[in-house]
């Protein structure tokens, strides 16, 4: 039996309720680690390094991209966003289960790289 943690990926379209569901899961399962993404955008007021995001320059992010350092990533409005692979793997190796809240494209990238994860797709209640 493995002492490795479980990677849980919650994905779905914008507005489907991923954030609400993940917030409730985190309340019910406080030992579950919420994955921190990396971004090249500037921190917003109140955001903290390593809590809300890992903030990096575009050059640093692109270097990490060339080193295959992400489970998934996307470029949105001229900024990069991604899930640092080593950070997640270290948590899993320490026996901690990790929750990723990402878009559908990101979930598909994770599935290609880490098929042992649990993937949950959230369907919106309606098209509107």
Whether 126 is in a domain gets the answer no
Q: Identify the pLDDT of residue 56.
A: 98
Whether 84 is in a domain gets the answer yes
Whether 2 is in a domain gets the answer no
Question: Cα separation of 48 and 67, whole Å?
Answer: 25
- Choose between 3 and 61: higher pLDDT: 61
* Tokens encoding 73: 């990533």
Q: Identify the pLDDT of residue 2.
A: 64
CATH code of the domain containing 85: 3.40.50.300
* 127 pLDDT more than 80: no
- Domains: count for the chain: 1
Question: Cα separation of 31 and 33, whole Å?
Answer: 6
Percent of the chain with pLDDT over 70: 98
Question: Cα separation of 95 and 65, whole Å?
Answer: 26
pLDDT in tens, 78-97: 999 999 999 999 999 999 99
Whether 128 is in a domain gets the answer no
Whether 127 is in a domain gets the answer no
- Segments forming the whole domain that contains residue 115: 7-121
């Amino acid at each position: 039996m493995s002492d490795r943690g479980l990677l849980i990926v919650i994905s779905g379209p914008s507005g489907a309720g991923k954030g609400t569901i993940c917030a409730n899961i985190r309340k019910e399962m406080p030992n579950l680690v919420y994955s921190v993404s990396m971004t090249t955008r500037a921190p917003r007021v109140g955001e903290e390094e390593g809590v809300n995001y890992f903030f990096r320059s575009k050059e640093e992010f692109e270097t990490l991209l060339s080193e295959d350092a992400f489970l998934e990533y996307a470029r949105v409005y001229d900024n990069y966003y991604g899930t640092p692979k080593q950070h997640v793997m270290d948590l899993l190796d320490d026996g901690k289960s990790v929750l990723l809240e990402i878009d559908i494209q990101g979930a598909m990238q994770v599935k290609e790289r880490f098929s042992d994860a649990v993937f949950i797709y959230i369907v919106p209640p309606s098209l509107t």
